C-alpha cells in the first residue's frame, strides 16, 4: 500500500483560495451558531444556563461574522465579498458589524452598563447616605429577525464564495 505525504504549497496563486475558504468557514460557522441560538431558546433550559449559553453563542456569532469583513490579511477578498452584498441585506450586515465592533468585541459597550447607585435617607431633615452599590444592566441578544436575516444573507454570501472557490481551484495557474 502506498502512502501519501501532504506538502503545504505557499504560492501566490493559492492565497486567494485559502482566503475564500477561511471566510467561507467563518460564515458557515456563524450560520450554524445562529441556528444553535434558536435551538437553545426552545430547549426549556434553566434561566441562568440559557443566559450563559446564549451570551456565548451570540458573542461568537458577531465576532465570527466580523472577522469576514474587518481589515486584515484577507482584506482584498473581504472587499470583493462585501461588494456582493445585496441592498436588502445591507442594513443587517451593518448592524452585525456595528454590534461586533461596539458591543461584543470591546469591553466598553452599550450592551453592558454599570452605574453607581446611592441610597439616601430622604425623610429626615438632613440627607444621609445609607449605602453605595453598583447596578448592572446587560443585553445579551437582539431580536430574532436579526439572526434570521443574518442566515439569509450568509447563505447568499456563501453562494458567491463557493463560486469563487471553484474558479480559484480550477485556475490553470495553480
- pLDDT for res 143: 81
Region 110-138: mean pLDDT is 73
Region 42-66: mean pLDDT is 91
Gyration radius from the chain CA atoms:
23
- pLDDT for res 131: 81
Contact 24, 69 (CB under 8 A): no
* Residue-range domains of the chain with CATH: 12-109+141-170 (1.20.120)
Residue 145 has pLDDT above 90, yes or no: no
- CB within 8 Å of 40: residues ≥ 6 apart: 50, 53, 54, 57
Buried b / exposed e over 4-38, threshold 16 CB at 10 Å, is eeeeeeeeeebebbbbbebbbebbebbbbbbebbe
| pLDDT-based confidence at residue 111 (cuts at 50, 70, 90) | low
pTM: 0.73
Amino acid at each position: 500500500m502506498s502512502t501519501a505525504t501532504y506538502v503545504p504549497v505557499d504560492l501566490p496563486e493559492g492565497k486567494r483560495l485559502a482566503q475564500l475558504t477561511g471566510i467561507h468557514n467563518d460564515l458557515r460557522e456563524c450560520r450554524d451558531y445562529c441556528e444553535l441560538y434558536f435551538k437553545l431558546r426552545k430547549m426549556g433550559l434553566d434561566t441562568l444556563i440559557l443566559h450563559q449559553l446564549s451570551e456565548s453563542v451570540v458573542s461568537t456569532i458577531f465576532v465570527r461574522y466580523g472577522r469576514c469583513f474587518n481589515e486584515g490579511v484577507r482584506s482584498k477578498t473581504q472587499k470583493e465579498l462585501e461588494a456582493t452584498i445585496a441592498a436588502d441585506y445591507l442594513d443587517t450586515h451593518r448592524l452585525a458589524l456595528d454590534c461586533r465592533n461596539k458591543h461584543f468585541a470591546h469591553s466598553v459597550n452599550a450592551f453592558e452598563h454599570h452605574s453607581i447607585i446611592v441610597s439616601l435617607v430622604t425623610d429626615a431633615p438632613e440627607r444621609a447616605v445609607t449605602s453605595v452599590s453598583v447596578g448592572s444592566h446587560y443585553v445579551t441578544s437582539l431580536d430574532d429577525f436579526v439572526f434570521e436575516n443574518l442566515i439569509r444573507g450568509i447563505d447568499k454570501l456563501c453562494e458567491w464564495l463557493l463560486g469563487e472557490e471553484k474558479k480559484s481551484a480550477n485556475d490553470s495557474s495553480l
